[in-house]
Structure 1
Amino acid sequence: MTEISTPASTTPVDKVRSALLRYRVLAWITGLWLLLLVAELILKYGFGNDSLDFVPIVHGWVYFVYLICAVDLAIKVRWPLGKIIVTAIAGTIPFLSFYVEHIRTKEVKAQYHL
């Protein structure tokens, strides 16, 4: 006879943990694409080289997904509006997404004992 196993129920902490992981991954990807965007702008306007002209479009879409992941995490951990805005803006300033990701991760891990 085959035993049927039921999937384990997802707890709110599990949902926060998975939202945090998605946010962290997208924060790093967004930060890296933003650095590539800076390099593209230097090449384009400094040297007249358009070889990286695909970067702004890709960064825009990656940033959009980053915003979705940041808001998803913010809703799950109930961040105030100011913290959400600062976290969203972090994906537009070079190197800031790495720093803000580190700070937000520490805060969420401390709050939810992850």
Structure 2
Amino acid sequence: MQQKSTQTSRLVDNLLTGDRAELEGISCNDPSGLCLLSKGTMTSANNSGIYTTLVRLAAQLQTQQGNVEVPLISIETKSYSIMVKEYDGHAVAMKVPRTAANDETDE
């Protein structure tokens, strides 16, 4: 179990570096909705089950429409977006700040 946790931690660290360094946080949940790992501003385990439920519901919508692609969910607010997607049964949520450039194009 420790090995998997170390690999997951390395994956999250890699996701928060380089051109994705502007991410405010990331959360990864197991298929049961339990938070395996979180970093940055996504450290609240209270919301972890919600992200898992969202990806499952979105997948049900996709299959009803005959589409087998895994959907990407975007939750947008004035100051940030949360992108949620399922990878191998695990819900991954990333919090991305809205930049001034994005705000200008919205007006």
Higher helix share: 1
Structure 1 length-normalised TM: 0.29
- Structure with higher RCO (Cα < 8 A, 6+ apart): 1
Name the structure with the higher strand share. 2
Higher gyration radius (CA): 1
